Structure 1
Amino acid sequence: MNDTALADALLRALEDHVLPLTRKGVAQGNKIFGAALLRKSDGSTVLAETNNETENPLWHGEVHLLKRYREVPDLPPPEELIFLSTHEPCSMCLSAITWAGFDNFFDFFTHEDSRDSFAIPHDLKILKEVFTLNPGGYRRENAYWKARSVAEVIADADPDQQAALKARADAIRAEYDALSGAYQDGKAANDIPLR
Protein backbone atom coordinates (compact mmCIF):
# COMPACT_ATOMS: atom_id res chain seq x y z
CA MET A 1 0.00 0.00 0.00
CA ASN A 2 1.13 3.52 -0.66
CA ASP A 3 0.84 6.12 2.13
CA THR A 4 -2.49 7.46 0.83
CA ALA A 5 -4.12 4.03 1.04
CA LEU A 6 -2.35 3.34 4.34
CA ALA A 7 -3.58 6.60 5.89
CA ASP A 8 -7.13 5.79 4.79
CA ALA A 9 -6.90 2.28 6.25
CA LEU A 10 -5.47 3.50 9.58
CA LEU A 11 -8.14 6.18 9.94
CA ARG A 12 -10.89 3.73 8.96
CA ALA A 13 -9.70 1.25 11.60
CA LEU A 14 -9.92 4.00 14.23
CA GLU A 15 -13.30 5.30 13.03
CA ASP A 16 -15.06 1.98 12.48
CA HIS A 17 -13.44 -0.41 14.94
CA VAL A 18 -11.42 1.17 17.76
CA LEU A 19 -13.60 4.17 18.60
CA PRO A 20 -16.83 2.15 19.05
CA LEU A 21 -15.01 -0.16 21.48
CA THR A 22 -13.41 2.78 23.26
CA ARG A 23 -16.78 4.49 23.79
CA LYS A 24 -17.99 1.35 25.60
CA GLY A 25 -14.72 1.00 27.52
CA VAL A 26 -14.76 4.58 28.78
CA ALA A 27 -18.38 4.15 29.86
CA GLN A 28 -17.11 1.28 32.04
CA GLY A 29 -14.36 3.43 33.59
CA ASN A 30 -11.43 2.49 31.34
CA LYS A 31 -8.87 4.81 29.79
CA ILE A 32 -9.11 5.94 26.17
CA PHE A 33 -6.30 3.82 24.71
CA GLY A 34 -7.00 1.27 21.97
CA ALA A 35 -5.34 -0.67 19.18
CA ALA A 36 -6.04 -2.60 15.99
CA LEU A 37 -4.39 -5.08 13.66
CA LEU A 38 -4.67 -4.53 9.90
CA ARG A 39 -3.55 -6.68 6.99
CA LYS A 40 -0.47 -5.29 5.26
CA SER A 41 -1.83 -6.57 1.94
CA ASP A 42 -5.05 -4.56 1.81
CA GLY A 43 -5.40 -2.53 5.04
CA SER A 44 -8.48 -4.40 6.23
CA THR A 45 -8.97 -4.56 9.99
CA VAL A 46 -8.43 -8.03 11.44
CA LEU A 47 -9.00 -7.29 15.12
CA ALA A 48 -9.48 -4.27 17.38
CA GLU A 49 -9.54 -3.80 21.14
CA THR A 50 -9.56 -1.09 23.75
CA ASN A 51 -8.22 -0.56 27.23
CA ASN A 52 -9.71 -2.91 29.83
CA GLU A 53 -7.81 -1.87 32.96
CA THR A 54 -10.91 -2.15 35.15
CA GLU A 55 -10.65 -5.93 34.66
CA ASN A 56 -6.85 -6.08 34.88
CA PRO A 57 -4.41 -3.13 35.14
CA LEU A 58 -2.20 -4.84 32.53
CA TRP A 59 -4.92 -4.74 29.86
CA HIS A 60 -3.75 -1.56 28.17
CA GLY A 61 -5.26 -1.23 24.71
CA GLU A 62 -2.24 -2.79 23.00
CA VAL A 63 -1.75 -5.62 25.50
CA HIS A 64 -5.46 -6.40 25.55
CA LEU A 65 -5.37 -6.59 21.74
CA LEU A 66 -2.37 -8.95 21.88
CA LYS A 67 -4.17 -11.13 24.42
CA ARG A 68 -7.20 -11.37 22.13
CA TYR A 69 -4.96 -11.94 19.08
CA ARG A 70 -3.53 -15.06 20.75
CA GLU A 71 -7.03 -16.28 21.70
CA VAL A 72 -8.61 -16.00 18.23
CA PRO A 73 -7.67 -18.92 15.95
CA ASP A 74 -6.47 -18.63 12.36
CA LEU A 75 -5.43 -14.98 12.33
CA PRO A 76 -2.52 -13.97 10.07
CA PRO A 77 0.98 -14.07 11.60
CA PRO A 78 2.50 -10.81 12.91
CA GLU A 79 4.72 -10.34 9.85
CA GLU A 80 1.57 -9.96 7.72
CA LEU A 81 0.00 -7.37 9.99
CA ILE A 82 0.13 -3.66 10.76
CA PHE A 83 -0.06 -2.77 14.45
CA LEU A 84 -2.04 0.44 15.09
CA SER A 85 -2.09 2.09 18.50
CA THR A 86 -4.30 5.05 19.30
CA HIS A 87 -1.58 6.51 21.52
CA GLU A 88 2.17 6.09 21.40
CA PRO A 89 2.69 2.88 23.39
CA CYS A 90 3.97 2.92 26.94
CA SER A 91 7.10 0.95 27.83
CA MET A 92 5.07 -2.17 28.72
CA CYS A 93 3.19 -2.05 25.43
CA LEU A 94 6.37 -1.37 23.43
CA SER A 95 7.83 -4.52 24.96
CA ALA A 96 4.65 -6.52 24.36
CA ILE A 97 4.55 -5.52 20.68
CA THR A 98 8.18 -6.58 20.40
CA TRP A 99 7.76 -9.90 22.22
CA ALA A 100 4.68 -10.68 20.10
CA GLY A 101 6.79 -10.47 16.94
CA PHE A 102 5.46 -7.35 15.20
CA ASP A 103 7.90 -5.49 12.97
CA ASN A 104 5.97 -2.21 13.00
CA PHE A 105 3.54 0.00 14.81
CA PHE A 106 1.70 3.19 14.01
CA ASP A 107 0.42 5.64 16.62
CA PHE A 108 -2.19 8.37 16.34
CA PHE A 109 -1.38 10.41 19.47
CA THR A 110 2.05 11.00 21.04
CA HIS A 111 3.19 10.45 24.62
CA GLU A 112 3.08 14.22 25.03
CA ASP A 113 -0.55 14.21 23.87
CA SER A 114 -1.32 11.57 26.52
CA ARG A 115 0.29 13.77 29.16
CA ASP A 116 -0.80 17.22 28.02
CA SER A 117 -4.13 16.77 26.21
CA PHE A 118 -5.47 13.75 28.08
CA ALA A 119 -3.98 14.27 31.58
CA ILE A 120 -2.46 10.77 31.62
CA PRO A 121 1.25 11.41 32.24
CA HIS A 122 2.31 7.93 33.32
CA ASP A 123 4.01 6.86 30.06
CA LEU A 124 6.51 9.71 30.17
CA LYS A 125 7.00 9.44 33.93
CA ILE A 126 7.81 5.73 33.67
CA LEU A 127 10.19 6.26 30.75
CA LYS A 128 11.99 8.95 32.77
CA GLU A 129 11.97 7.29 36.20
CA VAL A 130 12.69 3.71 35.15
CA PHE A 131 14.69 4.10 31.94
CA THR A 132 15.99 7.71 32.34
CA LEU A 133 14.62 8.54 28.89
CA ASN A 134 13.28 11.93 27.93
CA PRO A 135 10.19 12.16 25.69
CA GLY A 136 11.04 10.57 22.36
CA GLY A 137 14.17 9.01 23.85
CA TYR A 138 13.57 5.51 22.55
CA ARG A 139 14.50 4.58 18.97
CA ARG A 140 11.48 4.54 16.67
CA GLU A 141 13.43 2.44 14.20
CA ASN A 142 15.48 -0.42 15.61
CA ALA A 143 16.33 -4.09 15.09
CA TYR A 144 12.79 -5.13 16.09
CA TRP A 145 10.37 -2.66 14.51
CA LYS A 146 9.82 0.63 12.77
CA ALA A 147 7.32 3.08 14.22
CA ARG A 148 5.53 5.86 12.37
CA SER A 149 2.85 8.29 13.42
CA VAL A 150 -0.42 8.49 11.54
CA ALA A 151 0.30 12.21 11.08
CA GLU A 152 3.55 11.29 9.30
CA VAL A 153 1.69 8.89 6.99
CA ILE A 154 -0.88 11.60 6.19
CA ALA A 155 1.93 14.09 5.48
CA ASP A 156 3.43 11.60 3.00
CA ALA A 157 0.08 10.88 1.30
CA ASP A 158 -0.98 12.26 -2.07
CA PRO A 159 -1.20 16.06 -1.64
CA ASP A 160 -4.65 16.05 -3.28
CA GLN A 161 -5.93 13.70 -0.54
CA GLN A 162 -4.26 15.30 2.48
CA ALA A 163 -7.03 17.81 3.31
CA ALA A 164 -9.67 15.08 3.48
CA LEU A 165 -7.39 12.81 5.51
CA LYS A 166 -6.55 15.65 7.93
CA ALA A 167 -10.26 16.45 8.35
CA ARG A 168 -10.92 12.83 9.31
CA ALA A 169 -7.99 12.91 11.74
CA ASP A 170 -9.36 16.12 13.29
CA ALA A 171 -12.77 14.47 13.77
CA ILE A 172 -11.09 11.52 15.49
CA ARG A 173 -9.14 13.92 17.75
CA ALA A 174 -12.35 15.71 18.68
CA GLU A 175 -14.01 12.45 19.65
CA TYR A 176 -11.04 11.44 21.77
CA ASP A 177 -11.15 14.84 23.48
CA ALA A 178 -14.77 14.17 24.46
CA LEU A 179 -13.99 10.61 25.59
CA SER A 180 -11.07 11.92 27.64
CA GLY A 181 -13.39 14.34 29.42
CA ALA A 182 -15.76 11.49 30.24
CA TYR A 183 -12.89 9.36 31.55
CA GLN A 184 -11.48 12.19 33.68
CA ASP A 185 -14.92 12.92 35.13
CA GLY A 186 -15.42 9.29 36.21
CA LYS A 187 -11.93 8.02 37.01
CA ALA A 188 -12.22 8.56 40.77
CA ALA A 189 -14.85 5.84 40.85
CA ASN A 190 -12.53 3.08 39.62
CA ASP A 191 -9.57 1.37 41.24
CA ILE A 192 -7.05 1.45 38.38
CA PRO A 193 -3.64 1.92 40.05
CA LEU A 194 -2.37 4.72 37.76
CA ARG A 195 -5.34 6.93 36.97
Structure 2
Amino acid sequence: MTDSAFINRLFDVIEQDVLPLTAKGVGEGNKLFGAAILKKSDLSLVLAETNNEMENPLWHGEVHCLKRFYEMPKADRPDTKDCIFIATHEPCSLCLSAITWTGFDNFYYLFSHEDSRDSFAIPHDLKILKEVFTLDPGGYNAENAYWKSYSIRRLIASLPPVERGELEQRRTAIAALYDRLSDAYQTGKDANDIPLN
Protein backbone atom coordinates (compact mmCIF):
# COMPACT_ATOMS: atom_id res chain seq x y z
CA MET A 1 0.00 0.00 0.00
CA THR A 2 1.76 3.10 -1.17
CA ASP A 3 -0.94 5.39 -2.55
CA SER A 4 -1.57 8.89 -1.27
CA ALA A 5 -4.81 7.92 0.52
CA PHE A 6 -2.93 5.34 2.55
CA ILE A 7 -0.12 7.76 3.45
CA ASN A 8 -2.68 10.42 4.38
CA ARG A 9 -4.30 7.88 6.72
CA LEU A 10 -0.92 7.25 8.38
CA PHE A 11 -0.52 11.01 8.80
CA ASP A 12 -4.05 11.27 10.24
CA VAL A 13 -3.19 8.69 12.88
CA ILE A 14 0.11 10.37 13.75
CA GLU A 15 -1.50 13.83 13.99
CA GLN A 16 -4.80 12.97 15.63
CA ASP A 17 -4.04 9.92 17.76
CA VAL A 18 -0.31 9.77 18.54
CA LEU A 19 0.71 13.44 18.74
CA PRO A 20 -1.74 14.42 21.51
CA LEU A 21 -0.49 11.53 23.66
CA THR A 22 3.10 12.45 22.89
CA ALA A 23 2.58 16.11 23.78
CA LYS A 24 1.23 15.01 27.16
CA GLY A 25 4.10 12.53 27.60
CA VAL A 26 6.76 15.11 26.76
CA GLY A 27 5.16 17.41 29.35
CA GLU A 28 5.81 14.65 31.89
CA GLY A 29 9.47 14.28 30.84
CA ASN A 30 9.24 11.47 28.27
CA LYS A 31 10.85 11.39 24.83
CA LEU A 32 8.79 12.18 21.73
CA PHE A 33 8.54 8.72 20.17
CA GLY A 34 5.10 7.20 19.58
CA ALA A 35 3.40 4.33 17.80
CA ALA A 36 0.04 3.06 16.64
CA ILE A 37 -1.55 -0.13 15.38
CA LEU A 38 -4.16 -0.20 12.59
CA LYS A 39 -6.22 -3.01 11.09
CA LYS A 40 -5.08 -3.83 7.56
CA SER A 41 -8.66 -4.47 6.45
CA ASP A 42 -10.06 -0.96 6.95
CA LEU A 43 -7.16 1.08 8.43
CA SER A 44 -9.15 1.62 11.62
CA LEU A 45 -7.20 2.44 14.74
CA VAL A 46 -6.64 -0.39 17.20
CA LEU A 47 -4.39 1.51 19.59
CA ALA A 48 -2.09 4.53 19.81
CA GLU A 49 0.57 5.08 22.44
CA THR A 50 3.63 7.11 23.24
CA ASN A 51 6.91 6.87 25.10
CA ASN A 52 6.54 6.25 28.84
CA GLU A 53 10.18 6.07 29.96
CA MET A 54 9.46 8.05 33.11
CA GLU A 55 7.61 4.96 34.37
CA ASN A 56 10.10 2.45 32.97
CA PRO A 57 13.07 3.08 30.64
CA LEU A 58 11.96 0.09 28.55
CA TRP A 59 8.64 1.74 27.64
CA HIS A 60 9.78 3.24 24.36
CA GLY A 61 6.87 4.39 22.21
CA GLU A 62 6.73 1.15 20.24
CA VAL A 63 7.28 -1.16 23.23
CA HIS A 64 4.72 0.71 25.32
CA CYS A 65 2.23 0.42 22.45
CA LEU A 66 2.87 -3.34 22.24
CA LYS A 67 2.55 -3.68 26.02
CA ARG A 68 -0.85 -2.00 25.90
CA PHE A 69 -1.85 -4.07 22.83
CA TYR A 70 -1.25 -7.29 24.74
CA GLU A 71 -3.14 -5.96 27.75
CA MET A 72 -6.26 -5.81 25.57
CA PRO A 73 -8.69 -8.71 26.02
CA LYS A 74 -7.76 -11.43 23.53
CA ALA A 75 -11.25 -11.29 22.01
CA ASP A 76 -10.74 -7.59 21.16
CA ARG A 77 -7.17 -7.91 19.94
CA PRO A 78 -6.65 -8.61 16.23
CA ASP A 79 -3.90 -10.94 15.08
CA THR A 80 -0.68 -9.04 14.46
CA LYS A 81 -0.55 -10.42 10.89
CA ASP A 82 -3.79 -8.52 10.26
CA CYS A 83 -2.32 -5.23 11.49
CA ILE A 84 -0.16 -2.35 10.37
CA PHE A 85 2.39 -1.03 12.84
CA ILE A 86 3.27 2.68 12.68
CA ALA A 87 6.26 4.18 14.48
CA THR A 88 6.75 7.92 14.44
CA HIS A 89 10.52 7.34 14.44
CA GLU A 90 12.53 4.48 12.96
CA PRO A 91 12.59 1.85 15.70
CA CYS A 92 15.71 1.33 17.79
CA SER A 93 17.19 -2.13 18.34
CA LEU A 94 14.94 -2.74 21.38
CA CYS A 95 11.83 -1.81 19.42
CA LEU A 96 12.88 -3.72 16.30
CA SER A 97 13.17 -6.81 18.49
CA ALA A 98 9.81 -6.16 20.17
CA ILE A 99 8.06 -5.78 16.81
CA THR A 100 9.67 -9.04 15.69
CA TRP A 101 8.85 -11.00 18.85
CA THR A 102 5.20 -9.90 18.72
CA GLY A 103 4.70 -11.18 15.19
CA PHE A 104 4.08 -8.05 13.12
CA ASP A 105 5.04 -8.54 9.48
CA ASN A 106 5.49 -4.81 8.79
CA PHE A 107 6.14 -1.40 10.20
CA TYR A 108 6.05 2.13 8.80
CA TYR A 109 8.04 5.05 10.20
CA LEU A 110 8.14 8.78 9.55
CA PHE A 111 11.50 9.97 10.94
CA SER A 112 14.75 8.06 10.35
CA HIS A 113 17.48 7.18 12.85
CA GLU A 114 19.46 10.06 11.38
CA ASP A 115 16.52 12.40 12.01
CA SER A 116 16.43 11.23 15.64
CA ARG A 117 20.13 12.06 15.94
CA ASP A 118 20.29 15.26 13.87
CA SER A 119 16.88 16.90 14.21
CA PHE A 120 15.87 15.68 17.67
CA ALA A 121 19.29 15.41 19.38
CA ILE A 122 18.66 11.80 20.44
CA PRO A 123 21.60 9.83 19.01
CA HIS A 124 21.23 6.63 21.03
CA ASP A 125 19.64 4.46 18.31
CA LEU A 126 22.59 4.83 15.96
CA LYS A 127 25.15 4.66 18.77
CA ILE A 128 23.71 1.38 20.09
CA LEU A 129 23.49 -0.15 16.62
CA LYS A 130 27.17 0.75 16.07
CA GLU A 131 28.57 -0.07 19.52
CA VAL A 132 26.62 -3.25 20.26
CA PHE A 133 25.92 -4.68 16.81
CA THR A 134 28.70 -2.96 14.75
CA LEU A 135 26.08 -1.78 12.25
CA ASP A 136 26.42 1.44 10.32
CA PRO A 137 23.32 3.61 9.74
CA GLY A 138 20.80 1.58 7.77
CA GLY A 139 22.78 -1.59 8.44
CA TYR A 140 19.89 -3.77 9.56
CA ASN A 141 17.81 -5.67 7.00
CA ALA A 142 14.79 -3.51 6.18
CA GLU A 143 13.14 -6.56 4.63
CA ASN A 144 13.72 -9.96 6.19
CA ALA A 145 12.00 -13.25 7.07
CA TYR A 146 10.04 -11.54 9.87
CA TRP A 147 8.90 -8.18 8.51
CA LYS A 148 9.25 -5.50 5.89
CA SER A 149 9.82 -1.90 6.97
CA TYR A 150 8.74 1.20 5.10
CA SER A 151 10.04 4.75 5.33
CA ILE A 152 7.04 7.02 4.82
CA ARG A 153 9.38 9.63 3.36
CA ARG A 154 10.57 7.14 0.72
CA LEU A 155 7.00 6.12 -0.06
CA ILE A 156 6.15 9.77 -0.69
CA ALA A 157 9.17 10.14 -2.96
CA SER A 158 7.91 7.24 -5.10
CA LEU A 159 4.58 8.93 -5.91
CA PRO A 160 3.71 11.18 -8.89
CA PRO A 161 4.78 14.83 -8.43
CA VAL A 162 1.29 16.24 -7.69
CA GLU A 163 0.60 13.75 -4.91
CA ARG A 164 4.18 14.00 -3.69
CA GLY A 165 3.98 17.78 -3.26
CA GLU A 166 0.80 17.66 -1.20
CA LEU A 167 2.10 14.90 1.06
CA GLU A 168 5.48 16.58 1.46
CA GLN A 169 3.71 19.73 2.69
CA ARG A 170 1.83 17.64 5.22
CA ARG A 171 5.03 15.86 6.32
CA THR A 172 6.74 19.23 6.80
CA ALA A 173 3.86 20.49 8.96
CA ILE A 174 4.00 17.36 11.13
CA ALA A 175 7.79 17.69 11.42
CA ALA A 176 7.33 21.25 12.72
CA LEU A 177 5.04 19.94 15.48
CA TYR A 178 7.67 17.38 16.43
CA ASP A 179 10.36 20.08 16.40
CA ARG A 180 8.40 21.96 19.08
CA LEU A 181 8.00 18.81 21.15
CA SER A 182 11.71 18.13 20.77
CA ASP A 183 12.56 21.61 22.05
CA ALA A 184 10.33 21.03 25.09
CA TYR A 185 11.91 17.63 25.78
CA GLN A 186 15.47 18.92 25.39
CA THR A 187 14.74 21.86 27.72
CA GLY A 188 13.48 19.63 30.53
CA LYS A 189 15.40 16.36 30.10
CA ASP A 190 18.03 17.07 32.76
CA ALA A 191 15.31 16.99 35.41
CA ASN A 192 14.38 13.37 34.69
CA ASP A 193 16.19 10.14 35.52
CA ILE A 194 15.90 8.33 32.18
CA PRO A 195 19.28 6.53 31.81
CA LEU A 196 19.82 7.53 28.16
CA ASN A 197 18.16 10.92 27.94
TM-score calculated relative to the size of structure 1: 0.97
Residues 1:126 and 2:128 are matched in the alignment: yes
CA contact (8 A) 2:85 2:108 kept: yes
Aligned to 1:68: 68
Q: Quick check: 160-169 or 175-184, which moved more?
A: 160-169
Aligned to 1:112: 114
Aligned to 2:12: 12
Unaligned runs of 5+ in 1: none
Q: Quick check: 64-73 or 37-46, which moved more?
A: 37-46
CA contact (8 A) 1:21 1:49 kept: yes
Q: Deviations over 1:128-185 (max 9, x none)?
A: 1100001100010000000011112222345432222111111110000000000000
Aligned to 2:55: 55
Residues in 2 aligned to 1:112 and 1:2: alpha-carbon distance in whole angstroms: 23
Superposed structure 1 runs of 4+ greater than 6 Å apart: none
Q: Quick check: 159-168 or 55-64, which moved more?
A: 159-168
What does residue range 1-195 of structure 1 map to in structure 2 within 5 Å? Answer: 1-73=1-73, 74-195=76-197
Amino acid at match of 1:88: E
Residues in 1 aligned to 2:67 and 2:124: alpha-carbon distance in whole angstroms: 22
Residues in 2 aligned to 1:157 and 1:6: alpha-carbon distance in whole angstroms: 12
CA contact (8 A) 2:105 2:146 kept: yes
Cα pair distance change 1:159/1:38, threshold 3 Å: farther
Identity %: 66
TM-score calculated relative to the size of structure 2: 0.96
CA contact (8 A) 2:2 2:155 kept: no
